[in-house]
Amino acid sequence: MKRRKLKQGVWISLYLVLIVGLVFSAYALRNAMRSSTNDNDDKNQYVSSSIVDEDVPVINEVTKIINPYNAEGVSIAKTYYDYQAEAAEQEKSIIYHDNTYMQNSGVDYVLNTTFDVLSVMDGTVTSVKDDELVGKTIEIKHDNDYVSVYQSLSEVSLKKGDTVKQGDVIGKSGTNKLDGDLGNHLHFELYVNGQVVNPVNYVDKEIKKDNSSTTNKTNEENNSNNTTTEENKNNQE
């Protein structure tokens, strides 16, 4: 069989076609890569923008205890009994009733006319009752094991289980048999971790939400899980 030889012009033409094809392919590949990069940049920019725009800074919840009233002219008629105070100050904190002397466990606010009684912080009402000796009483539990007690009320505006906001009107001042000589007044007590404290020292004090109990619970659960794992390991051995 006789082999045919391609002419030199044909070889040159094929070579040029091959080169043009390679150049075109490289150009198309570069454009595709550039388009893909731009698309990814747009997506990354969108995601980053969304994260930044929707991100909300974490702010510690801080509140300050307020006075349990907002009426003008309210004054303190009987102070909290402080064991470390001078004798003269302690005398102002003694309650005399039915031939008995008692130490005042709160502060008595007086005014010649009835005034609104306010919740000193956000909380939940845990008790509402009418006591023959101290009058209508409201107890509210707050965060961080704070409990506020309001006595000698003539009116009550809520019931057990209600939630209140700081500054909400919860009742009105009144009279009672224990401090009958004070006339119209509010007896206010504050407890922290189950201990009665001087409310005056806590007004305007910053209170931060305490998550230590949750942290302690988590630590206890982790320790319990670790103990169980160790016991299982020993049993297997």
Average pLDDT over residues 115-128: 98
In this predicted structure, the answer to whether residue 6 has a pLDDT above a threshold of 80 is: no
Share of the chain above pLDDT 90, in %: 51
Mean pLDDT of the chain: 78
Residue 154: enclosing H or E segment and its boundaries? strand 146-156
pLDDT at position 98 is 84
Which residue shows structure tokens 């700081």?
166
pLDDT at position 153 is 98
pLDDT at position 48 is 43
In this predicted structure, the answer to whether residue 127 has a pLDDT above a threshold of 50 is: yes
pTM (2 d.p.): 0.65
Residues contacting 111, CB < 8 A, separation 6+: 71, 73, 74, 75, 173, 184, 185
In this predicted structure, the answer to whether residue 218 has a pLDDT above a threshold of 50 is: no
pLDDT at position 135 is 95
pLDDT at position 2 is 46
pLDDT at position 52 is 40
pLDDT at position 136 is 97
Which residue shows structure tokens 């044909």?
10
The pLDDT tens digits of the residues spanning 47-80 come to 444 444 444 444 557 889 999 999 999 999 999 9
* CB burial string 22-39: b at 16+ within 10 A, e below: eeeeeeeeeeeeeeeeee
pLDDT at position 54 is 47
User: Measured between alpha carbons, how far is 95 from 104 in angstroms, rounded to an integer?
Assistant: 6
The pLDDT tens digits of the residues spanning 14-31 come to 566 556 555 555 556 566
